Structure 1
Amino acid sequence: MFFTYILGIAGAVVGAVLLAISTLNPAAFALFSASVAEVTAPVSTAAGAVVRAIVAVPDTIGTYFHVHGENEQLRARLARSRGALIAGRRAQIENARLRALLQLRDRRPEVVATARIVSTSASSTRRYGLLNAGAWQGVADGQPVSGPEGLIGRVLYVGPNTARVLLITDAESVVPVVRLRDNRAALAAGRGDNMIDIRTIDTADAKFRPGDVFVTSGTGGIFIPGVPVARVLRAGTESAPARPFARADVLDVAMVHRAFMPPPPPAPTPRPTPSPTARATADPAT
């Protein structure tokens, strides 16, 4: 209590002195106030920062939980949107492929059946595909099979409701083809590894170039001319590796066409036998 009284009296004396100075000499009081403010400003700033930090703690905690919950909602919404985006993209791709199938069907009136590729032997040394259409749907041995991207193969044998397809990548498959840029004839032979070898059929230098596109020629029948087969990957002379346009391991729908029969050559026109009168007129010696 004694020290409390002492501090109170000292505070009153200091206050009276400051009041007298501010009244008698305002300039000196202003200088004194500025000096005190310079000394106490850092302390006041630090104290104010501490007070503001303490006051902001509840708001910070509330904001954290709010932002955390909002982030969870945004993640869930993003996951739902991603699923919808993937489904929409798949539907777009499927629609494009179905439109290509319809266009191909419109261009090729000899379509026998449209079927699904149930399975393929991608892991085997042979390359086969299985269609869920057979003799009851009009499918027969030897008929070519194609998809929106190009040729798939030909029917090897049929059952009542299924058909086995020899893919063009099989080692036993050989398809007559022509190069688009110069109509040069060649053979597309399967390699058994989902790739094709383009081989020349004459002694001239073929000079296969990367990017060369080959389509069916229709030579020998079976395969409809003009169906895309493969694109050359690397340059070559007598042969070159090529990648087929249609991959049966990623296709699900294919079309079976009626086997192509090239038109027969025109029959020679018989020349009329000249009459005796015409021969006598044409021969002055007679």
Structure 2
Amino acid sequence: MSNYAGSAPPRSSDVAGTLRLLAYLALSATLILLDHRGDWLAQARGHASVAMQPVWWLAGLPSRLGEGLRDDAATRARLSEENRHLRNELLLGAARQARLQVEAEENARLRGLLGAAERGGQEVQLAPILDVDLDPTRQRLMLNAGTRSGVRGGQAVIDASGLVGQVIEATPTTAVVLLLTDPDHAVPVAVARTGVRLIVYGTGRGDVLELRNVPLSSDVRTGDVLITSGLGGRFPPGFPVGTIASLRPDDSRAFLVGDVDAAAQLDRGRDVLLLRDQPATPIGTGTATDADAVTTTAEAPDGAGE
């Protein structure tokens, strides 16, 4: 058997692969031609893109949530800082308003004191209050003014509303005022409506005074205004002392007693006025001695039972 050196015949698998390749090439050419003429592949890609949008949205959701949380945190921090700043500004504004209100009230009170001095036609001296003693048995004020400032014993003390008391002690830098409400204090007064002379006594109770031994025949009524009568020479006439709040018979049924609301604001204020044109009187060694002198002087003209 002789050897034949010719080429081997093609195998069937190679023929099938070649046919598939030709088919793919033909299909590719057809698709390219159709896409070039009808652009249907671009439309298919657009529809595919629309169909993929939910997937892209879900894929970007964590990032968007993170950014939103960061923005919310930054906004909340900024708003918290602004809120703190505004709250501080509000507190400062309220403090300034309160201070202005206090200054306005103080200005009005000082104008009232000035008006009281002008109405009384008296030379006065403004004295700040250092301390207040409102014990039921001891009603006193300590003033930041003394003999170096011209303060003298026996000077009448007033405020914008009426009589406060009198100076009973004085040092070079301070003075002690015996208030109208002190149990040892008495003031000769007159009813502004009728001129009836009476005596008002301290009770040791806040701003309440007391009328004693008022004759039943006296023309005195609840609501009458009491002013200083000037008797005894200790207090100048015409300064308001108080208003009669009530009248009632005493235990003997022979006289009336009454409660009087003090005109002066004894429990408030930071300054008082000292009447400077009153004659100087020696300051006694004890409080009771000075008060008894006032009471004795006042009772002389009223003891006849007016």
| 1:157 corresponds to 2:169 | yes
Given that 1:111 and 1:255 are in contact with CA atoms closer than 8 Å, whether structure 2 keeps it comes out as no
Given that 1:185 and 1:201 are in contact with CA atoms closer than 8 Å, whether structure 2 keeps it comes out as no
Structure 2 counterpart of 1:213: 225
Given that 1:113 and 1:133 are in contact with CA atoms closer than 8 Å, whether structure 2 keeps it comes out as no
| 1:101 corresponds to 2:119 | no
Given that 1:231 and 1:245 are in contact with CA atoms closer than 8 Å, whether structure 2 keeps it comes out as yes
Q: 1:124 to 1:205 in 2, by over 3 A?
A: closer
Structure 1 counterpart of 2:49: none
Structure 2 counterpart of 1:127: 139
**What letter matches 2:265 in structure 1?**
R
Give ranges in structure 2 of 5+ residues lacking alignment: 1-64, 250-255, 281-306
Structure 2 counterpart of 1:81: 93
| 1:176 corresponds to 2:193 | no
1:145 deviation in Å? 0.8
TM-score by length of 1: 0.62
Structure 1 counterpart of 2:12: none
Structure 1 counterpart of 2:211: 198
Structure 1 counterpart of 2:14: none
1:126 deviation in Å? 0.8
Structure 1 counterpart of 2:151: 139
Higher relative contact order, structure no. (Cα contacts within 8 Å, ≥ 6 residues apart): 2
**In structure 1, what is the Cα distance between the partners aligned to 2:224 and 2:72?**
66
Q: Please state whether the residue corresponding to 1:192 is helix, strand or coil.
A: strand
Structure 1 counterpart of 2:102: 90
Match of 1:185 among 187, 197, 201: 197
TM-score by length of 2: 0.58
Paired residue total = 209
**In structure 2, what is the Cα distance between the partners aligned to 1:108 and 1:231?**
19
| 1:228 corresponds to 2:246 | no
- Identity, in percent, stands at 31
**What letter matches 2:217 in structure 1?**
A
**In structure 2, what is the Cα distance between the partners aligned to 1:88 and 1:77?**
16
| 1:254 corresponds to 2:272 | yes
1:197 deviation in Å? 1.1
Q: Please state whether the residue corresponding to 1:247 is helix, strand or coil.
A: coil
Q: Please state whether the residue corresponding to 2:125 is helix, strand or coil.
A: strand
The CA RMSD measured in Å over matched residues stands at: 3.1
**In structure 1, what is the Cα distance between the partners aligned to 2:262 and 2:130?**
20
1:112 deviation in Å? 5.1
**In structure 2, what is the Cα distance between the partners aligned to 1:206 and 1:200?**
14
More strand by share: 2
**In structure 1, what is the Cα distance between the partners aligned to 2:234 and 2:179?**
14
**What letter matches 2:195 in structure 1?**
N
Q: Please state whether the residue corresponding to 2:236 is helix, strand or coil.
A: coil
